[in-house]
Amino acid sequence: MKVHLIIAHPENNSFNHALHQTAVQTFEANEISIGESDLYHINFSAVAGKKDSPNFPVDGTFQLAAAQRWAIENDDFETSIKIEQSKLDSADVLILQFPLWWWSFPAILKGWIDRVLTSGFAYGEKSRLGKKKVMYSITTGGAENEDERDYYKRKIDGLYHDVFGFIGWECLPPFIAHGVQRETEKVRETMLLNYRQHLIKNLL
């Protein structure tokens, strides 16, 4: 099994990076092969557009999905997209580590989804990428009670299934760390241990 880990947070000392490192250490300790994409570190561009397939012959109106299909057929994707797609090709499992921002992905991660999980590669009639397993590990601003936790769950289920359900991947149970900025150091340390257990239970 090979696991590819995406981390979308600008600060190396953040709790998101601590969760990411927990995953790295858990897989290494179990001799599982891993790959990583630290999206801020590689300064991944979030903006999908014409530059993604620079030689796409535009005849009339530009269409992103058509340009993506053409790029995969003609090996014309911009280098950062090619690199990310080849990392995915060799992975069996994808883990996305990110903070919930405006009930959604940070823009840099949304851009990775737009630009890497493309038509003709990850979905569509002639898609080339095999089906994988995927897991989200998300931090939030905080849920005060069970009702709020249910609300978060519905929102996160939507984010999950609208992307990876749509492209037919197996969506593993997400790990959600609520209110990480409000909690004590001790609670956060327990969250890291719980995440390790979550990975072991669902993947090892």
- The site for ligand FAD (CB under 6 A) is made up of 9, 11, 13-16, 18, 99-103, 139-141, 180-181, 185, 188-189
102 close to 20: Cβ distance less than 8 angstroms: no
Considering the complex, state which of residue 86 and residue 190 has its C-beta at the smaller distance from ligand FAD: 190
Considering the complex, state which of residue 47 and residue 193 has its C-beta at the smaller distance from ligand FAD: 193
Considering the complex, state which of residue 22 and residue 127 has its C-beta at the smaller distance from ligand FAD: 22
138 close to 191: Cβ distance less than 8 angstroms: no
* φ and ψ of 127, to 5 deg: -60, 140
* Nearest distance from C-beta of residue 27 to ligand FAD, angstroms: 17
Closest-approach residue to ligand FAD (CB): 141
* Nearest distance from C-beta of residue 12 to ligand FAD, angstroms: 10
Taking the CB of residue 139, how many other CB atoms lie within 10 A of it? Answer: 24
Residue 113 in tokens: 């989804």
Considering the complex, state which of residue 141 and residue 158 has its C-beta at the smaller distance from ligand FAD: 141
CA 147, CA 90: separation in Å to the nearest integer? Answer: 40
Strands (E), the chain: 2-7, 33-38, 93-99, 133-139, 170-171, 175-177
Considering the complex, state which of residue 16 and residue 85 has its C-beta at the smaller distance from ligand FAD: 16
* Nearest distance from C-beta of residue 192 to ligand FAD, angstroms: 6
* Nearest distance from C-beta of residue 156 to ligand FAD, angstroms: 10
